Amino acid sequence: MTWESAMPTLIVGTSLLTGLLIFFLEEKRQRLRSTLNLLGAGLKLVFVGIIIVGTLQGREYEFRFPLVLGFDFLLRVDMLSLLFVTLSGVLWFVTTIYAIGYLEGSEHRSRFFGFFSICVAASTGIALAGNLITFFIFYEFLTLSTYPLVVHRGTEESLRAGRTYLWYTITGGTVLFVGVAWLNVLVGDVDFSHAGSLASVAPYYHTELIAIFVLLIAGLGVKAALVPLHGWLPVAMVAPAPVSALLHAVAVVKAGAFGIVRVVYDVFGVSFANSLGVLTPLAILASITIIYGSLRAMTQDDLKKRLAYSTISQVSYITLGVALFGITGTIGSLVHLVHQGIMKITLFFCAGNVAETLGLHRISEMNGIGRRMPVTMGAFTVAALGMIGLPPIAGFISKWYLALGGLEAGKPWVVVVLLVSSLLNAAYFLPILHAAWFKKPSQSWSPRTGKLETSAMLLVPPVITAGFSLAAGLFAASNGSPLALARQIAELLYYSSP
Amino acid sequence: MIIWLVLLPFAGGVLAFALARWGRVIGLLTTAGTFAVGLIFSAQIWQNGPQRYLVGGWSVPLGINFFADGLSAVMLLITGGIGTIISLYSISYFAPTARKGEWSENDTFWPLWLFLVGGLNALFLSADVFNVYVTLEVVTLAAIGLAALAGNAAALTASLRYLFAALIGSMAYLMGVALLYASYGLLDFQALQQVVQTDAPTVLALSLMTVGLLLKTALFPLHFWLPPAHSTAPAPVSAALSGLVVKGSFYITLRLWFETFYGQIHFSAGQLLGALGTAAILWGSFQAVRQKRLKLLIAYSTVGQIGYLFLLFPIITATTSRDVVAAWAWSGGLFQAISHALAKTSMFLSAGVLLKAVGTDEIKSMRGIAGHLPLTTFALALAGISLIGLPPSGGFVAKWLMMKAIIGSGQWWWIPVVTLGGLLTAGYVFLMLRYTFLPQEANHPFKPVSPVMQGTAFALAVGAVVIGFRAKELITLLNIGMGFPEVPVLENPGL
């Protein structure tokens, strides 16, 4: 095994090993557990840094292992996986800090952090998967490792949520499985680096390919929470805040969206998918989801539930961008993959802080909370404004490119969808901000216990990610920004394929 | 070499009977030794291809004729490997006799268990339809004896039912053998293949033999005897019955259908077996979801999982040459048999651990076991993952190949069967696992359980997952001598 082939396994392996080690730690070894957690997350960041530098120098990282006759287990680093693996690496590190602070003193922490790390290993595997079957393996692995996190509290409510979550995701996984197997019978192993090879399939099989596309998108759509397959997401928010943060920002929902990106660009090839006529229905479905999610978000009083519906809406921006046939839409979609992650994770961190520090879950109880927790609500405000699409925060960049992409693709109605959605975003986020900053507190807050408004481990992560959200927007034009990376990937997708 | 695979366990069985005090030592050494011989023997088949052996040098039709190909090798390996682990577990499970002159479960278990292993090995090596019958009888009688081991009313009723079902099955099979011998004067699987025709007596013979075998394999609706028998037996016995014994009669069905009668069986017969398999998957899984006791849940799960084995029949029957699609169905079906054997034995062994720890196998009693029995919890979870067919595991490879065979053959109507079966399996697996996340009830004492018992169950579960990573070698071994394409990769029709 060479250095280049070891690298992808190492990146997946660090989280997996961390998880397995933590399982067998005694409950009270808190210091050791936290050290292991941070060490694993840190080491992974170092490895990600190495492959970024290496890829820029033109090195190729690939690990291949024949599994069954007819398919290989394949991990490979390409630009798209670089984008996703960096996102998950960075956000995992931040969330680990947050989770350590959040779960201080609670039960079953070894179990929690064990599955937490394994869940990250799964989403890293999804990022690095080099063919459809490897992607599928990690996709199912993710379902399994997130279930224990969703039911972590062990209450009736969380077990019910866990059951709903499993039914949706396992059914989705099964549908995806049929699609993957069917495609494998038709054309063999689908390697992501041979995008566009499906275009040479004889026209006789095009109906079958359309059916396969529908199966794949339906399977992925469950995790990506496309309407009407979104039912699990609002229920699953009973999970502890760091889990919701991870689920909504990098792990589950993103895995679905990332899968859709892979299927359209690297399995079917965007021009071929367009000529099959499957992209426009997908764009319409995404648009319906965007509007529906926002509408439902407006009526929720529970803060985490409102955020969950907002996720349904926001993640579909990615799908919408993918379904627009044109380079600008692609840029918007890929950049939103990152932007939505950093903004949404901030919002969930803040919601967790409010719940953990003051015991508040409802928006109607949050009048004047800005005075008690100014830093938390400051970070919340940045992220919320970004979600609405206010410049110069990251969300604006995404929406701008998506709207231009819609025009470029000859679908001006996309602009209308985006405008309506932004209005709705404003309608459900601004009242929270207004209540938090300008209304008089309807109750007296429990006083601060230390110098800070809450523990430092809870406070630093949202500040960092809010900072990312601002920076990603402010410095979008500079080299190395998510936008620059997205542009580079999109150019590769459109100009280098045969 | 080949003769030791049979002689060793039978000799060990006699020895364990005579020297009951040493039963456990003899048992472990014999099963481990048989496994070692099986490994060497499989290596020979891997290198030199199928082997034939005339016991005592007498040739057909007088002598006993042994024949082994890749399929036999795989079955021998599974029996030897799982058998050794069950022996290891049983040493801790059965308490040794306290005083001299007394007779206990432990003393009865070892001789019967070694006869069972010997019978299974002989079955996988027999080259003709009659010897296979004799060996199957040995297996069945040993199995019934083991099932009755607990000695209480429930176990005795269950094993009596098992006995009746098995006798009817044997009779049907034997009549079929007689009909075949009357028509052709031959018994050898491969010799018969050269001469069989599809006339009425032959069709009747095959039907009788198949029904007899299905009764012993417990394919729906002939499964009625299985859940009580498998759930009342002691845990290591349940494991052997569900994991190994039902595969014996299944193996004979494969030999008949795809060696002796291959190419002669009507399309609709294959469809019928597939339909019964479907009913088994749905009914078994549905019943499993409804159970309150862990061992019954696992037993019904066996009824369902056996159904999957029969999905390969409609697909291979529809082919006229051993083509790529047939090879997928073949290796998928057998991979299902192998990974089910591993996962199911592991589950029953875990149920035994639970019984020892909390005194009952009610699913409710699994509350909070994760903290006390982490290894057992993991074992149940891993075995469950393989049963559902989630990647990466042996069960996944099985479903993957099966699904490809179904799609490749154009018999799309089996697709919902496989998917729905997977969902139902997920249903009962998570029904079981969710209790481990619930907080433990107060004043519920946990008794300590031997780490060997926990470890062996865990090792089997890991095995059920890990064979998913070494699928290539196993499939290659399976195909030796069956005439399937060596590298079953289809030229993709789409490209």
Which DSSP string do the residues of B181-202 spell out, in sequence order? Answer: HHHHS--BHHHHHHH----HHH
Contact residues, chain B, for A198 at CB < 8 Å? 494
A151 and B434 within 8 Å at the Cβ level: the answer is: yes
Numbered residues of chain B with Cβ closer than 8 Å to any chain A Cβ? 370, 374, 385, 388, 390-392, 396-397, 399-401, 403-404, 407-408, 415, 419, 422-423, 426, 430, 434, 437-439, 468-469, 471-472, 475, 487-490, 492-495
Residue B279 counted as domain residue: yes
Contact residues, chain B, for A177 at CB < 8 Å? 399-400, 403, 419
Q: What is the pLDDT along chain B (495 residues), one digit of tens a residue?
A: 788 899 899 999 999 888 888 888 999 999 999 999 999 999 999 998 888 888 766 665 566 788 999 999 999 999 999 999 999 999 999 877 666 666 678 888 999 999 999 999 999 999 889 999 999 999 999 999 999 988 888 899 999 999 999 999 999 999 999 999 999 988 888 888 888 888 899 999 999 999 999 999 999 899 899 999 889 999 999 999 999 999 999 999 999 999 889 888 889 999 999 999 999 999 999 999 999 999 999 999 999 999 999 999 999 998 878 888 888 899 999 999 999 999 999 999 999 998 888 888 888 888 877 777 888 988 999 999 999 998 888 999 999 999 999 998 989 999 999 999 999 999 999 888 888 777 776 666 788 888 999 999 999 999 999 998 878 888 888 888 887 776 555 555 555
Question: A444 phi and psi, to 5 degrees?
Answer: -95, 135
Query: What local confidence, expressed as pLDDT, does residue B98 receive?
Result: 63
A163 and B434 within 8 Å at the Cβ level: the answer is: yes
- What stretches of B3-117 adopt beta strand conformation (E)? 51-54, 65-68
A176-212: b or e for each residue (b if 16 or more CB lie within 10 Å)?
bbbbbbbbbbbbbbbbbebbbbbeebeeebbebbeeb
Chains A–B, number of C-beta pairs less than 8 Å apart:
102
Work out the angle at residue A214's Cα, subtended by the Cα atoms of residues A181 and B488, and round it to the nearest 5 degrees. Answer: 15
| Distance, CA of B491 to CA of B495 (rounded, Å) | 8
Contact residues, chain A, for B400 at CB < 8 Å? 68, 177, 181
B430 and A185 within 8 Å at the Cβ level: the answer is: no
Contact residues, chain A, for B392 at CB < 8 Å? 67, 137, 141
B492 and A177 within 8 Å at the Cβ level: the answer is: no
Query: What local confidence, expressed as pLDDT, does residue A270 receive?
Result: 87
Least CB-CB distance to A188: which of B434, B472, B492?
Answer: B492
Q: Residue ranges of the domains in chain A?
A: 326-498
Q: Nearest residue of B to residue A65 by CA position?
A: B469
Query: What local confidence, expressed as pLDDT, does residue A498 receive?
Result: 42
| Distance, CA of B403 to CA of B490 (rounded, Å) | 14
Residue B323 counted as domain residue: yes
Q: Nearest residue of B to residue A189 by CA position?
A: B492
Spatial contact of B31 and B117, defined as CB atoms under 8 Å apart = yes
Min distance A182 CA to chain B CA atoms (Å): 6
B421 strand-pairing partners: none
A68 and B403 within 8 Å at the Cβ level: the answer is: no
Q: Which residue do the tokens 């801790």 mark?
A: B92
Least CB-CB distance to B370: which of A111, A143, A178?
Answer: A111
Spatial contact of B449 and B353, defined as CB atoms under 8 Å apart = yes
Question: B303 phi and psi, to 5 degrees?
Answer: -55, -45
Contact residues, chain B, for A202 at CB < 8 Å? 494
Min distance B135 CA to chain A CA atoms (Å): 34
- What stretches of A160-268 adopt beta strand conformation (E)? none
| Distance, CA of B306 to CA of B317 (rounded, Å) | 18
A187 touches B: beta carbon within 8 Å: yes
Q: What is the pLDDT along chain A (498 residues), one digit of tens a residue?
A: 677 788 888 888 888 888 888 887 777 788 888 888 888 888 999 999 998 888 888 888 888 887 776 678 889 898 899 999 999 889 989 999 999 888 887 778 888 888 889 998 999 999 999 989 999 999 999 998 898 888 888 788 888 888 899 999 999 999 999 999 999 888 887 888 877 778 888 888 889 999 999 999 999 999 999 989 988 888 888 888 888 888 888 889 999 999 999 999 999 988 899 899 999 999 999 999 999 999 999 999 898 999 999 999 999 999 999 998 889 999 999 999 999 999 999 999 999 998 888 888 888 888 888 888 889 999 999 999 999 988 888 889 999 999 999 998 888 999 999 999 999 999 999 999 999 898 888 777 777 777 788 888 888 999 999 999 999 888 888 887 888 888 888 888 887 654
A140 touches B: beta carbon within 8 Å: yes
Residue B7 counted as domain residue: no
Q: Select the residue from B404, B466, B470, B478 to test the A interface by mutation, using most A Cβ atoms within 10 A.
A: B404
B472 and A69 within 8 Å at the Cβ level: the answer is: yes
Alpha helix segments (H runs only) across A131-196: 132-150, 156-187
A17 touches B: beta carbon within 8 Å: no
Q: Which letter does DSSP use for residue B128 in this model?
A: B
Q: What is the CB neighbour count within 10 angstroms for residue A442?
A: 11
Q: Which letter does DSSP use for residue A191 in this model?
A: B
Least CB-CB distance to B472: which of A66, A143, A205?
Answer: A66
A184 and B374 within 8 Å at the Cβ level: the answer is: no
Q: Nearest residue of A to residue B434 by CA position?
A: A159
Contact residues, chain A, for B492 at CB < 8 Å? 185-188
Q: Is A65 helix (H, G, I), strand (E, B) or coil?
A: strand
C-alpha closest to that of B35 among B150, B92, B96, B114 = B114
Q: Select the residue from A109, A115, A185 to test the B interface by mutation, using most B Cβ atoms within 10 A.
A: A185
Spatial contact of A464 and A94, defined as CB atoms under 8 Å apart = yes
Q: Select the residue from B429, B458, B491, B495 to test the A interface by mutation, using most A Cβ atoms within 10 A.
A: B495
| Distance, CA of A384 to CA of A378 (rounded, Å) | 10
| Distance, CA of A198 to CA of A270 (rounded, Å) | 11
| Residue B354 domain boundaries | 268-495
A67 and B472 within 8 Å at the Cβ level: the answer is: yes
Contact residues, chain B, for A64 at CB < 8 Å? none
What is the number of domains present in chain B?
1
A188 touches B: beta carbon within 8 Å: yes
Residue B299 counted as domain residue: yes
A205 touches B: beta carbon within 8 Å: yes
Residue B160 counted as domain residue: no
C-alpha closest to that of A218 among A226, A207, A209, A210 = A226
A137 and B419 within 8 Å at the Cβ level: the answer is: no
Q: Nearest residue of A to residue B492 by CA position?
A: A187
Contact residues, chain B, for A205 at CB < 8 Å? 493-494
A181 and B419 within 8 Å at the Cβ level: the answer is: no
Query: What local confidence, expressed as pLDDT, does residue B103 receive?
Result: 67
Least CB-CB distance to B426: which of A152, A166, A188?
Answer: A166
pLDDT in tens, B183-240: 998 888 888 888 888 889 999 999 999 999 999 999 989 989 999 988 999 999 999 9
C-alpha closest to that of B249 among B300, B214, B198 = B214
CA distances from B375 to A17, B355, B381 (A): 17, 15, 10
Q: Nearest residue of A to residue B335 by CA position?
A: A68
Spatial contact of B223 and B276, defined as CB atoms under 8 Å apart = no
Spatial contact of A268 and A201, defined as CB atoms under 8 Å apart = no
C-alpha closest to that of A422 among A383, A387, A394 = A387
| Distance, CA of A351 to CA of A305 (rounded, Å) | 10
Q: Select the residue from A174, A201, A212 to test the B interface by mutation, using most B Cβ atoms within 10 A.
A: A174
Least CB-CB distance to B391: which of A136, A185, A187?
Answer: A136
CA distances from B258 to B250, B482, B483 (A): 12, 9, 10
Residue B258 counted as domain residue: no
Tokens representing A354 are: 């409010």
| Distance, CA of A96 to CA of A77 (rounded, Å) | 24
Q: Select the residue from A69, A145, A197, A210 to test the B interface by mutation, using most B Cβ atoms within 10 A.
A: A69
